[in-house]
Chains A and B, each alone.
Chain A
Amino acid sequence: MDFTIIRSNLAYLLWGTWPDGPIGGAALTLILSVGSALVSGVLGLGLGVALAMSSQRLRIVLTAVLGFFRAIPVLMLIFWTYFLLPLAFGIDVPGVLSVMFSLSLIGGAYLSHSVYAGIRGIAKGQWEAGLSVGLTRGAVLRHVVLPQALRMMLPSFINQWVSLIKDTSLAYIVGVGELSFLAAQVNSRTMVYPAEVFLFVGMIYFTICCGLDLLARQTLRRHEGRAR
């Protein structure tokens, strides 16, 4: 194992050619992850609430749409967004955005089911108690149900976001220079250090994912401390 290859390409792997060129590498992986985590979280929450609160008919339509996004591979959606939207509708979506768009939609579809299940998991008595003190359905959801449900859903959110961080590597299909893509470039030039290069890449993904997990636990602990 010869890790000088990592040392000589460290800056490139961590942030690409920035500030002379576009940002890339681990920094872009982080940007892609945070961006799509936020959007998928908002989408998941909104759609999950919609699933829980909507009428039977709307729920069937929503479930079908969400089912579609859960069923197609992320890679395929990125490819479609990047290559087929310009052809079909003349909309040109840059690579970074098409990746964020796809990850957000698919992540959101997964999360909405977690949110829906979380809301359903709150005992009926909680709803009745809220309604009986004169709160509206929306107010019960916001002040009584969601605070409890979200705490239960947090592990699902973290699961989904961890998988999303790793899925950012699929950006390679449209030539977005995130960590794995740049690592492949370095590997292509040097040819003989794939083990070193990809071990390092694995370590970075591990660090980012663990970081997210720690952050979530801390947030939860602080939250629970305050609740008591």
Chain B
Amino acid sequence: MKLRSLALLGLLLVSGLAHADRLDDIKKAGVLRVAAFDGNPPFGYIDEQSKKIVGLDVDYAEAFAKKLGVKLELVPTNPANRIPLLTSNKVDLVFANFTITEERAKVVDFSIPYIASGQQFLARKGFLKSPDQIGGLKVGADKGTTMESTLREKYPSAKVISYDDTPFALAALRNGNVQAITQDGTKLVALLANLPDKSKYEVSPFAISEELEGVGIPKGETRLVSYINDWLREAEKDGTAQKIYDKYFGPKSKSPLPRLFKIGESHIREK
């Protein structure tokens, strides 16, 4: 992991520098710079008509920019670039399906989670029945994600093949290079909904971990963190969060999925 060690080197360099208050900086600049995925429907992807980045994460970012009264500027990112973009001050926040982990929290701060899901698998229909099978499989994962590390940790005997982004992993699955791919259940459900031959595949009936995803915030910006947390709780209370969720996973959406997590909770509810 060349990139990861480079990112860590960068972090060491920056840790000594003093920070101005980022919340004031954003307001003063009148622009909120946000890193979002450009290839991960429905969280962040390029809209077919407008050719702009849209998605669930982008809707949250837009709502937050509106709350601040500033313009939103989106910077496309892949999973591995999320931390370097924050630490090198290329963006103010990351809204990119960013799973909160202890290791990441050492170098960036997180808001409270605003969406959650479990790590699941996508494979040919009827192929995956229990987690015990995973150890003997070739599994495709996205480089620089928690799925990749969790998989390696929990199933050391599985052959993990890392791809730059989910679509490449999906292509590998379709071509038979891997027997399953792993991702957030939410993402896999949406992925499956877009496939023309979706009847051939299914999302595994089990999950191997719980992923809580929050906003990525530069380290040490405590005021910004609490400001975002207050805004997120407010978004849950006034129905904004539910509205955004329903747009992508609601009963009328392409990939309906019951909402088992609400902002402010600490775990996914049992079905």
Task: Report the minimum CB–CB distance from B169 to chain A (whole Å).
Answer: 11
Residues of A within 8 A of B39 (CB): 184-185, 187-189
Stretch at the interface among B45-53, B128-136, B147-155, B253-261: B45-53
Known pairs A184-B39, A189-B48, A192-B195; A83 contacts B13 (CB<8 A): no
Pick from A87, A177, A192: contact of B196, CB under 8 Å: A192
Stretch at the interface among B84-92, B105-113, B206-214, B215-223: B84-92
Residues 1-38 of A, flagged 1 when their CB comes within 8 A of B and 0 if not, give 00000001000100011000100000000000000000
Interface size, chain A (Cβ < 8 Å): 31
Residues 15-34 of B, flagged 1 when their CB comes within 8 A of A and 0 if not, give 00000000000000000000
Pick from B10, B40, B77, B81: contact of A84, CB under 8 Å: B10
Residues of A bordering B, CB below 8 Å? 8, 12, 16-17, 21, 76, 79-80, 82-84, 86-88, 92, 172-175, 177, 181, 184-192, 194
Q: Is B7 in contact with A185, judged by CB distance below 8 angstroms?
A: no
User: 12 A-B residue contacts at CB 8 Å?
Assistant: A8-B48, A16-B51, A21-B52, A84-B6, A84-B9, A172-B78, A184-B165, A185-B45, A185-B76, A188-B40, A189-B48, A190-B194
Task: Report the minimum CB–CB distance from A174 to chain B (whole Å).
Answer: 8
Residues of B bordering A, CB below 8 Å? 2-3, 6-7, 9-10, 13-14, 38-41, 45-46, 48, 51-52, 75-78, 81, 84-85, 87-90, 165-167, 170-171, 174, 191, 194-196
Residues of A within 8 A of B174 (CB): 192
User: Bound complex: CA of A87 vs CA of B167, how far in Å?
Assistant: 32
User: Bound complex: CA of A62 vs CA of B46, how far in Å?
Assistant: 46
Residues of B within 8 A of A172 (CB): 78
Pick from B10, B51, B75: contact of A87, CB under 8 Å: B10
Task: Report the minimum CB–CB distance from B162 to chain A (whole Å).
Answer: 15
User: Bound complex: CA of A175 vs CA of B75, how far in Å?
Assistant: 8
Residues of A within 8 A of B87 (CB): 83, 87
Q: Is B167 in contact with A83, judged by CB distance below 8 angstroms?
A: no
Scoring B3, B46, B75 by chain A CB atoms within 10 A of each residue's CB, the highest score goes to B46
Q: Is A194 in contact with B7, judged by CB distance below 8 angstroms?
A: no
Question: Quick one: closest A residue to B170, CB to CB?
Answer: A191
User: Bound complex: CA of A17 vs CA of B38, how far in Å?
Assistant: 14
Q: Is B90 in contact with A86, judged by CB distance below 8 angstroms?
A: yes
Q: Is A83 in contact with B41, judged by CB distance below 8 angstroms?
A: no
Q: Is A188 in contact with B13, judged by CB distance below 8 angstroms?
A: no
Q: Is B41 in contact with A188, judged by CB distance below 8 angstroms?
A: yes
Task: Report the minimum CB–CB distance from B271 to chain A (whole Å).
Answer: 27
User: Bound complex: CA of A188 vs CA of B41, how far in Å?
Assistant: 8
Pick from B2, B81, B88, B191: contact of A86, CB under 8 Å: B88
Q: Is B14 in contact with A87, judged by CB distance below 8 angstroms?
A: yes
User: Bound complex: CA of A88 vs CA of B166, how far in Å?
Assistant: 32
Residues of B within 8 A of A80 (CB): 6
Q: A88-B13, A186-B46, A187-B39 are known; give 20 further A-B pairs, CB within 8 A.
A: A17-B51, A21-B51, A80-B6, A84-B6, A84-B9, A84-B10, A84-B13, A87-B89, A173-B81, A175-B38, A175-B81, A187-B167, A188-B45, A188-B167, A189-B46, A190-B194, A191-B167, A191-B170, A191-B191, A194-B167
Known pairs A76-B2, A186-B46; A83 contacts B10 (CB<8 A): yes
Pick from B51, B77, B89, B166: contact of A188, CB under 8 Å: B166
Q: Is A191 in contact with B194, judged by CB distance below 8 angstroms?
A: yes
Q: Is B38 in contact with A185, judged by CB distance below 8 angstroms?
A: yes
Residues of A within 8 A of B46 (CB): 185-186, 188-189
